[in-house]
C-alpha cells in the first residue's frame, strides 16, 4: 500500500510529454530537451569559430597558407546552416 501511495503522489507532481515506460528518467523530469539552449550554444560556437579568424599576428614560420581559415569558415557555415534549418523546420506545423 505504501508503494501505491508514493507512486500516485509522485506521478501527480511530474507532468511530462514522454511515456515513463519508454524513458524511465522522464519520471524525474530529465527527458526534455531545451532546443533554445542548444541553439544558443550553437550560435556561440559559430561566433567563437569566426573570432578565431582574428587571431594575433603569426610568426614568419606560418607556412601552410590559409588552410586553417578555410576550415574555420567551413565549419562555421556548416553549423550556421544546421541551426537555420532547424529553426525553419521548427516553425512549420507538423
Where are the chain's structural domains? Answer: 1-32, 34-94
| Mean pLDDT computed over every residue of the chain | 77
Question: CA quadruple 15, 21, 22, 23: dihedral positive or negative?
Answer: positive
What pLDDT, on a 0 to 100 scale, did the predictor assign at position 47?
96
pLDDT tens digits for 53-84?
Answer: 888 666 545 556 788 899 999 999 999 999 99
What pLDDT, on a 0 to 100 scale, did the predictor assign at position 15?
54
Q: Nearest to residue 10, comparing CAs of 44, 94, 63, 2?
A: 2
Confidence of residue 48 (pLDDT cuts 50, 70, 90): very high
Task: For residue 27, give the C-alpha cell.
Answer: 519520471
What pLDDT, on a 0 to 100 scale, did the predictor assign at position 36?
85
Q: Nearest to residue 76, comparing CAs of 40, 49, 56?
A: 49
Amino acid at each position: 500500500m505504501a508503494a501505491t501511495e508514493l507512486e500516485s503522489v509522485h506521478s501527480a507532481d511530474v507532468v511530462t510529454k514522454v511515456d515513463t515506460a519508454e524513458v524511465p528518467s522522464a519520471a524525474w523530469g530529465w527527458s526534455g530537451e531545451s532546443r533554445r539552449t542548444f541553439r544558443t550554444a550553437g550560435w556561440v560556437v559559430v561566433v567563437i569559430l569566426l573570432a578565431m579568424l582574428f587571431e594575433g599576428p603569426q610568426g614568419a614560420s606560418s607556412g601552410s597558407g590559409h588552410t586553417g581559415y578555410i576550415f574555420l569558415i567551413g565549419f562555421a557555415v556548416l553549423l550556421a546552416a544546421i541551426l537555420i534549418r532547424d529553426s525553419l523546420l521548427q516553425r512549420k506545423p507538423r
